[in-house]
Each structure stands twice: as structure tokens, then as C-alpha cells.
Amino acid sequence: MSMPAELPPMSPNDPGSYPGKYVLPELGLNRTTEYSYELLTGHRRTDGSFKTTEQLQTEYVRLTDELIRQMTEGVPVEDPQTGERQLEKPDFVVYLDKSARPVSWLVKELWPTLAQAEDGSIPKMPETRFVNIDREQWVNSIDPEGRGLANVDEINKSVIRSLRSIFLANPKDRRNGLTEDIDTAPTQFDGKTVLIIDEVLASGRTLRYAEDFFRRAFPEAKIATSYWMGKVNIMQVKGAVGTIVNADLPVWYRQNFEPGRGVGNRNEEKSFRSNNPTQRLGAWFLSTRFLEPDSLSQKLRNEIHQLGNDVRRGNVFIEPSTLREEADFDRLALGLNHLRSLAEYRTLKARLRKQK
């Protein structure tokens, strides 16, 4: 196992003592930040268990690291011309509004730290895009039996053109509206690898619908999909026959509360009246903007920025994605946590797990 040539200092006042002078009093360490989080904090999960603030922040960094790993190492895609499957680094990442939008903020904030290569270089982050594709929006049209077997071919061509029009390479190609000209107009995604990300794994239908829509709207693109909070234990709700929910959800997830994620719901009627041609033509797939600033969203963005600062200062215990290569995992686990050995890392990890 190779050690980092130089361990970064924890903070300007760090005396440089090791092992791991950072993070939490409960771990026998010193937390150097006085910032008070209000959103990225511990809470009781849906299944009744409690997650501490330190556990939550470590988890959110780990989940984001897994997405960054996929973006830097590549995702499995099928070449639309040859049918061959291969790993390719995404050129674009499309986040599904509204709840995956904060995931994009986490990726952007943590990218310079978690994407950094062993030689110190930082690869270019894929370009970010957003669409609003909701399972409830389309289930009756493309999956009337609710089996997750979507048939996007049943959708009217104008709807597919609505999605395609959002990402045309030349904005002038929108001037004639959703005509057949859209079908052949070049798009940003032609010949590119596109990774679609949803915020949490539940039934998986939303992401399957999104993938099917993109494959039909952008036949020359290579499409991959992923989740941020995936593989979460799912529990049966007492007293609700047939109802299954995730044992935990992101702190910003609110099913019946619109603010907090930077954009509003889809509103086709409102979008059809927009003076912006992209919004007007893409009405079936674009969120709307709030008339007033979304203060809750700004607060979340501020806390995500603070989380990034705390990660860089060593104030958050870092668990890299377990899907990283062993040498890469060791480099991040030791370097970002200011540790000298994996034994120290495992000890601190075990202490964090025991928090209640």
C-alpha cells in the first residue's frame, strides 16, 4: 500500500500531530468548525432508527464519492451503432428534478477534493443538465399496469420532440416549434455519453422511464443511469397494505412541499406561455422557476458549501466509495482523514458506527 507523499494540513492552526487530529470529540478528536448546521443534521429515519449528524455527513460524502468515481472511471454504456458494451466517462450528467438537483450541488462542491488524481490533477467535471421526469407524470401513458415495463413508443412524437428540443445544438432549430425538423436537428448529446442520475432508489421506475425517453429522443447518444442514495433498506409501512417506502430519504426530500431544491414543479400551462423558447417547447420536461427567491434552497446550498469546507479541513470523517480500486481507496481514506494506517481508519469508522 503506497502512502501519500505529503499529508495536507488540517487547518492553518494545525500543529500537525497524528493520527487523525480532526472530526469528532466522540472519536477522541477535535472538531475545528463552529458552524451550526440546521439541515444537514441527524434525524430519525423512516424505520425508527436514529442517524447522528456526523453519520449523516459521512454518508452523504460517501454517496457523492461513488457518483464521482463513476464519472471519473467510466460508466457501462452500449454503443448505439455497434451494440457493444464498454466503460466510458460521461460527457454530460443529467439530474432529475427536483430532488436530484441538490445532488448536483454536492458533486460540484466535492469534485475538486474527491476527483483529484494521485498526481494532484483534477479532471474536468462533466457538463451538468436538468430535466423533470416524474413517474406519476407518465405511468398512465406508458405503463398503465404499473409493472415498470414502460412503452415509450406509445408517446406522441410531439412529446419526444419536446424533450429533444431542450438540448438542441443550435438554438435556431427551435424557431419552427415542435415540428419534424426537431427529429433530425443536431443535439448536444449526439455521439456523447450521458449519465442520468436520480436522487434515491425506490421502485426504480422513474429512472427506467427517463432512460427510455432519452434513448428514443437521442438515439445517437450512449445512455447510462445511476442513483445517489441507492441500496437503502426498504420497509413495509404498518397499516398501509402494499405500501413500501425507503428506510431513509435525503434531508431535502419533501413530497408535498415545493421549496427547498431551487426550482418548482412542472407547470405545462405556465411553461406553454413562456417567452423563453426552450421553456415553452420543453414544457413537458422542465421545472418552473419561483417568483420569489427560494430561501430554503439557498440555505441548503450554503450548508453543502460548508460541508465541502469541513471535508477539506478534516472536520468530517471520510469513507470513500467501497467500489474504488484498493490503492485509490487507501489514498483517500488515509490522506483525507490525515491518518497513517488503515488500522486507525477502521477504529474511527467503528466508533462512528456506534454513535446513537
Structural domain count of the chain: 1
pLDDT higher than 60, residue 10: no
Model confidence, pTM: 0.87
Is cis: bond before 19, omega within 30 of 0?
yes
| pLDDT, tens digit (0-9, with 9 covering 90-100), for 320-354 | 999 999 999 999 999 999 999 999 999 999 999 99
Q: Is 317 among the domain residues?
A: no
42 — pLDDT class (breaks 50, 70, 90)? very high
| Gyration radius of the chain over CA positions | 22
Neighbours of 20 (CB within 10 A): 23
Residue 147: predicted pLDDT? 60
pLDDT at 275: 94
For residue 305, being part of any structural domain is answered with no
337 domain-assigned: no
The domain in which residue 229 lies consists of: 57-293
Q: For residue 80, what pLDDT is reported?
A: 80
C-beta of residue 161 within 8 angstroms of C-beta of residue 182: yes
- The proportion of the chain whose per-residue pLDDT surpasses 90, expressed as a percent, equals 66
Confidence band for 128, pLDDT divided at 50, 70 and 90: very high
Find the CATH number of the domain harbouring 217.
Answer: 3.40.50
| Average pLDDT of the chain to the nearest whole number | 85
- Does residue 328 lie within any of the structural domains? no
Q: What gap in Å lies between CA 108 and CA 182, rounded to an integer?
A: 32
| pLDDT tens column, 47-102 | 788 999 999 999 999 999 999 999 999 999 988 888 889 999 999 999 999 999 99
Q: Which residue has the higher pLDDT, 301 or 27?
A: 301
Q: Does residue 269 fall inside a structural domain?
A: yes
Q: Is residue 137 part of a domain?
A: yes
Query: Is 101 a domain residue?
Result: yes
- What's residue 34's pLDDT? 67
* pLDDT for res 231: 54
Question: What's the mean pLDDT in 21-26?
Answer: 46
pLDDT band, very low/low/confident/very high, at 153 (cuts 50, 70, 90): confident
pLDDT of residue 141: 62
In this predicted structure, what is the pLDDT of residue 22? 42
Residue 207 covered by a domain: yes
Q: Are 133 and 225 in contact (CB under 8 A)?
A: no
| φ, ψ dihedrals at 145, nearest 5° | -90, -5
What grid cell was written down for 15?
Answer: 500543529
**C-beta of residue 58 within 8 angstroms of C-beta of residue 102:** no
pLDDT in tens, 172-213: 999 999 999 999 999 999 999 999 999 987 767 889 889 999
